[in-house]
Amino acid sequence: MNHFMIKQFNGLDDATAQRLHSLGLQVGSSVQAVRFYPFHGPVIIQVDHQKIGIRYRVFKLLTGGKPL
Amino acid sequence: MTTVALLGNPNTGKTTLFNELTDKYAYVGNWTGVTVEKKVGQIRHSHTKVIDLPGVYSLNPITKDESVVTNYLLGHSPDLILNVTNASQLKRNLLLSVEVLELGVPVIITLNMIDDLKRTGHYYNLKTLSTELGCPVRTTNARNKEGLTELKADLVRDQSEIKPNLPLKLNYPLMVNQAIRQAATSLTKDYKVEPKFAHWLAIQYINNNKVVRKYATMHQLKPLLSQKAYYDAQKFDDQIFETRLSFIEKTLASATEQLKSTQHVAITSKIDKVVTHPIFGLPIFVGIFYLMFKLSFDWIGTPLSGYLDGFLSGPISSWANQFLTQAGALPMLRSLIVNGLIAGVGGVLVFIPQIFVLFACITILEDSGYMSRAALVTDRIMEMIGLNGKAFIPLIIGFGCNVTGIMAARTIEQPKERLITTLISPFMSCSARLPIYSLFVAALFPRHQALIVLSLYFLGIVVALFMAKFYHVIFKAKEHSVFIVELPQYHIPRLDIVWHGTWDKGKGFIKKAGTIIFAGTVLIWLLSNFGVHGYVTQIDQSFAANLGQILLPVFKPIGISTWQPISALLTGVLAKEVISSSMMVLFHTSNQTALIAMIGGSFTAISAYALLVFILLYIPCFATIGTIKSETGSAKWAAYSVISSLAISYTLAFLIFQIGSLLM
């Protein structure tokens, strides 16, 4: 369904990348997108039994999209 | 005296654990550099001191709040570190534990919220965990007071009884290990750094820890500084992260046990389905706030305040008057006590119920886990003004008190966003402004009290958001916002935790009544009873009247036609509560009902609303000005805040009064 794999941390600013690392995310982690907010608002992802809200732009980058 | 430092990720129940372990505590002292209050408590019947450190994800800080922990470890050596972890999210919690264990200070890890873990159908073999990590591992559930007795027994030991830990040694890649060893050896040899600490320092430096790098520069630690470019070019920090994560994954895999019976209750998911709904999330957020205001101002707070006022201005006031007359006290002293202190300070104290109900609501929102959902549903709106949803939390806390609101802005990652949030925080209508609203709405808008007050709160938010956008454009803030919020499991708020939090926030208000509001009331009483010719019986000849009358022409355009409110506004800079106590003294009334009648007589609906808007937005109180100065580190921003808010408040009040008068 809404399963994605984290493909890259490239293009993220240092602080965001570091915080995501601290939450246990790395290349190859599988995440489930629980919820998308309208107008490209935040995305709720679930990793290792925990839910995290991130910005749409960050979500796109993590899952292999191009920097906006 | 044994010192235990409490350390852990956010949302691990660290504060609850701290409150359960210690009986009395105090906020004391400053940390080096930044003014952060540390919370120090004492375990019952023991010589163990517990220090509560802010929640952090790693020792490499992103926010100002987080740098406190690293600075503490660089400057102090606690006898024991209690690492509080969230049992059901052990993987990422252990990332921090590994950093702490590498320090070589005795560590106890506690798996808190152990019930949540059991519900997921897993358990960990504590023995395996303990062997792999090289430190004792306990389980607790602070909310239900489980495992606390055992944990306390571990903590109340004497320094000499605490077993030393060997620093945790991970198998970093060869090159990294070599770099760590070389740096540590020469730090010990040439700079006399203690070997264990040198080892930790080297790892943290190589791992690009900003605070440690600053520390190395400050102490001119050449062995580290000279290799910086090499460490970074080799991307050693990524290798360190990967080694740690794979160590943790391996450890957890070997320690995981499956429980036979799983009673998976997905209560959090069920609530979230509604509360974080993409479309209904925002209206629900507004609804929750409306409910909060209804509770504070209509259903519970205001009726209680009414009883309290009846008691203070009735029996208490007349009893004191009689007592003083019988005791033969000077009329002047009697006037100071009855008309000044009891009326003034009492006039502020009657708002305790409303303020405490509001604080209780905010605490419930914090404790239940809703706050991070609020950040999520408001993020898209905040993005438009260049902030993120996290800035909403300090603003909401600002409804209680702007000072704590500004402090809460420390959790915002980007410095520019933090500055903007700090500057707009004073526009949030804090609880101290409530007393004066209540008086005016009771006098002029008796049928729409909650609505008028809510409109002021909303106006505060609108002005704050507008100014945020303005600053965003002016500062040319281009960096992307860092917005990552964890959505913790919901908890049913527990009565004692809510009471604890409410009291923590509200006791400042009571303390203020005894100090600054007391002083302000005496000041205004003096100003209103003395004039150029000494003690005056006619208040019109007092200093307060003179001062008010001089400024009257300035305030005429915003609809103020008598001098009393102007003098009251001047004292309001001490603390906003003083405005209402000053009014009480200046209008020579001893109870709310009489004052409300007086206000009703000297204001129209429009001029009253204009004045309320002015009060909402004008100069922040002393405490807030001081906090802006200490948080931004510059008196200029504090001065700017005073001037800009005065200009904004005057302009808006002017427009409301002038346009309103034309229409009516």
pLDDT band at B456 (very low <50, low <70, confident <90, very high): very high
Helix (H), strand (E) counts: chain B? 34, 12
Bridge partners of B531?
B534, B542
| A21 to B242: CB separation less than 8 angstroms, yes or no | no
pLDDT digits (tens, 9 = 90+) for B262-312: 555 577 788 888 888 888 988 998 898 888 877 876 788 778 878 887 888
pLDDT at B28: 43
The CA distance from B409 to B65, in Å, is 9
pLDDT at B32: 34
Tell me phi and psi for residue B36, to 5 degrees. Answer: -125, 135
Three-state SS for B142-183 is HHHCECHHHHHHHHCCCHHHCCCCCCCCCCCCHHHHHHHHHH
Quick one: average pLDDT of B411-423?
A: 85
CA dihedral of B169, B171, B175, B179, whole degrees rounded to 10: 0
B393: three-class secondary structure by DSSP: helix
Q: For chain A, how many residues are written?
A: 68
pLDDT digits (tens, 9 = 90+) for B67-119: 889 999 998 889 999 999 999 889 999 999 999 999 999 999 999 999 888 88
Identify all chain A residues contacting B414, using CB atoms and an 8 Å cutoff: 15
Is B205 a residue whose pLDDT tops 90?
yes
pLDDT band at B330 (very low <50, low <70, confident <90, very high): confident
Bridge partners of A4?
A31
Q: Is residue A46 part of a domain?
A: yes
Tell me phi and psi for residue B639, to 5 degrees. Answer: -65, -40
The CA distance from B556 to B276, in Å, is 48
Q: Tell whether A33 is within 8 A of chain B (Cβ).
A: no
The CA distance from B365 to B268, in Å, is 15
Is B484 a residue whose pLDDT tops 60?
yes
Mean pLDDT of chain B: 86
pLDDT at B431: 82
- Nearest Cβ partner of A26 from B245, B276, B278? B245
- Nearest Cβ partner of A18 from B60, B376, B383? B60
Q: Tell me the Cα Rg of chain A.
A: 11
B221: three-class secondary structure by DSSP: coil
Q: How many CB atoms lie within 10 A of CB B88?
A: 22
Quick one: average pLDDT of A28-48?
A: 91
The fold adopted by the segment(s) B2-161 is Rossmann fold (3.40.50)
Residue extents of the structural domains in chain B: 2-161, 285-663
Q: CATH no. for residue A10?
A: 2.30.30.90
Q: Is residue A67 part of a domain?
A: no
Is B411 a residue whose pLDDT tops 50?
yes
Residue in B425, B456, B429 with CA at minimum distance from that of residue B440: B456
In chain A, what is the straight-line distance between the N-terminal and C-terminal CA atoms, in Å? 25
pLDDT digits (tens, 9 = 90+) for B377-386: 989 988 888 8
In single-letter form, the type of residue at position B566 comes to: I
Q: How does B52-75 read in b/e, with b if 16+ C-beta sit within 10 Å?
A: bbbbbbbbbbbbbbbbbbbbbbbe
**Nearest residue on chain A to B243, judged by CA atoms?**
A26
Find which of A14, A21, A35, A52 to mutate to test the B interface (most B CBs within 10 Å of its CB): A21
Nearest-CA distance B463 → chain A (Å): 23
Find which of B208, B232, B251, B480 to mutate to test the A interface (most A CBs within 10 Å of its CB): B480
Q: Is residue B516 classed exposed, middle or buried when 0-12, 13-18 and 19+ CB atoms within 10 A define those classes?
A: middle
A12: three-class secondary structure by DSSP: coil
Inter-chain contacts counted by CB atoms under 8 A, chains A and B: 102
Residue in B301, B431, B299 with CA at minimum distance from that of residue B357: B301
Spatial neighbors of B204 by CB under 8 A, at least 6 apart, are: B59, B60, B99, B212
| A42 to B95: CB separation less than 8 angstroms, yes or no | no
Q: Tell me the Cα Rg of chain B.
A: 29
The CA distance from B132 to B23, in Å, is 34
The CA distance from B391 to B436, in Å, is 27
pLDDT band at B422 (very low <50, low <70, confident <90, very high): very high
Quick one: average pLDDT of B27-49?
A: 63
The CA distance from A44 to B41, in Å, is 37
Handedness of CA A16, A19, A23, A25 (dihedral sign): positive
Q: For chain B, how many residues are written?
A: 664
pLDDT band at B33 (very low <50, low <70, confident <90, very high): very low
- Nearest Cβ partner of B88 from A41, A49, A52? A49
Q: Is residue A56 part of a domain?
A: yes
- Nearest Cβ partner of B379 from A20, A36, A41? A41
DSSP string, B597-646: HHHHHH--HHHHHHHHHHHHHSS--HHHHHHHHHHHT-HHHHHHHHHHHH
Find which of A29, A30, A37, A45 to mutate to test the B interface (most B CBs within 10 Å of its CB): A37
Q: Is residue A40 part of a domain?
A: yes
Q: State CA B597 to chain mean position distance.
A: 37
pLDDT band at B652 (very low <50, low <70, confident <90, very high): very high
Task: Give the count of domains, chain A.
Answer: 1
Residue pair B81/B133 in contact by the 8 Å Cβ criterion = no
pLDDT at B29: 39
In single-letter form, the type of residue at position B71 comes to: N
- Nearest Cβ partner of A23 from B57, B380, B388? B57
The CA distance from B106 to B126, in Å, is 18
pLDDT band at B479 (very low <50, low <70, confident <90, very high): low
Any idea which of B201-215, B329-343, B424-438 has the lowest mean pLDDT? B329-343
In single-letter form, the type of residue at position B406 comes to: I
Q: Percentage helix, strand, coil, to 5, in chain A?
A: 25, 30, 45
Is B435 a residue whose pLDDT tops 80?
yes
Which range among B147-161, B390-404, B599-613 has the greatest average pLDDT? B599-613
pLDDT at B34: 37
Residue pair B620/B628 in contact by the 8 Å Cβ criterion = yes
pLDDT band at B37 (very low <50, low <70, confident <90, very high): low
Identify all chain B residues contacting A38, using CB atoms and an 8 Å cutoff: 278-279, 380
Any idea which of B135-139, B496-500, B563-567, B650-654 has the lowest mean pLDDT? B496-500
pLDDT band at B46 (very low <50, low <70, confident <90, very high): confident
Chain position carrying tokens 């549903």? B377
The CA distance from B315 to B312, in Å, is 6
B29: three-class secondary structure by DSSP: coil
Residue pair B656/B617 in contact by the 8 Å Cβ criterion = no
pLDDT at B24: 66
Residue pair B212/B73 in contact by the 8 Å Cβ criterion = no
Q: Tell whether A41 is within 8 A of chain B (Cβ).
A: yes
The CA distance from A11 to B509, in Å, is 47
Chain B residues 308-327 with CB within 8 Å of chain A? none
Q: Tell whether A26 is within 8 A of chain B (Cβ).
A: yes
| B91 to A48: CB separation less than 8 angstroms, yes or no | yes
pLDDT at A67: 62
Q: Tell whether B249 is within 8 A of chain A (Cβ).
A: no
∠ CA B11-A27-B480, nearest 5°, is 65
Quick one: average pLDDT of B478-500?
A: 83
Nearest-CA distance A27 → chain B (Å): 10
| A48 to B479: CB separation less than 8 angstroms, yes or no | no
Is B388 a residue whose pLDDT tops 70?
yes
Identify all chain A residues contacting B245, using CB atoms and an 8 Å cutoff: 24, 26
Residue pair B567/B527 in contact by the 8 Å Cβ criterion = yes
At B584, list the tokens: 């009480």
Spatial neighbors of B257 by CB under 8 A, at least 6 apart, are: B122, B123, B124, B125
ipTM: 0.92
pLDDT band at B31 (very low <50, low <70, confident <90, very high): very low
pLDDT at B26: 54
The CA distance from B426 to B444, in Å, is 26
A59: three-class secondary structure by DSSP: helix
pLDDT band at B131 (very low <50, low <70, confident <90, very high): very high
Q: Is residue A50 part of a domain?
A: yes
Q: Tell whether A18 is within 8 A of chain B (Cβ).
A: yes
The CA distance from B551 to B268, in Å, is 57
pLDDT at B263: 58
The CA distance from B348 to B342, in Å, is 10
The CA distance from B270 to B158, in Å, is 47
Q: Tell whether A23 is within 8 A of chain B (Cβ).
A: yes
Is B494 a residue whose pLDDT tops 70?
yes
Residue in B607, B613, B524, B618 with CA at minimum distance from that of residue B576: B618
Is B603 a residue whose pLDDT tops 80?
yes
Q: How many CB atoms lie within 10 A of CB B11?
A: 18
Which range among B31-45, B226-240, B513-527, B613-627 has the greatest average pLDDT? B226-240
Bridge partners of B82?
B6, B108
pLDDT band at A46 (very low <50, low <70, confident <90, very high): very high
pLDDT band at B193 (very low <50, low <70, confident <90, very high): very high
Is B27 a residue whose pLDDT tops 60?
no
Residue pair B96/B11 in contact by the 8 Å Cβ criterion = no
B484: three-class secondary structure by DSSP: strand
pLDDT at B30: 37
| A41 to B383: CB separation less than 8 angstroms, yes or no | yes
The CA distance from B13 to A58, in Å, is 28
| B272 to A18: CB separation less than 8 angstroms, yes or no | no
Domain range for A14: 3-62
pLDDT digits (tens, 9 = 90+) for B543-584: 888 989 999 999 999 999 888 899 889 888 878 888 888 888
∠ CA B367-B368-B372, nearest 5°, is 90
Q: What is the DSSP letter of B460?
A: H
pTM of the model: 0.81
Residue pair B390/A15 in contact by the 8 Å Cβ criterion = no
Residue A20 Cα distances to A1, A9, A36, angstroms? 23, 9, 19
Q: Is residue B433 classed exposed, middle or buried when 0-12, 13-18 and 19+ CB atoms within 10 A define those classes?
A: buried
Any idea which of B112-121, B395-404, B650-659 has the lowest mean pLDDT? B395-404
pLDDT digits (tens, 9 = 90+) for B141-192: 988 888 999 999 888 887 777 777 788 999 999 999 999 999 999 999 999 9
Higher pLDDT, B198 or B602: B198
pLDDT at B162: 79
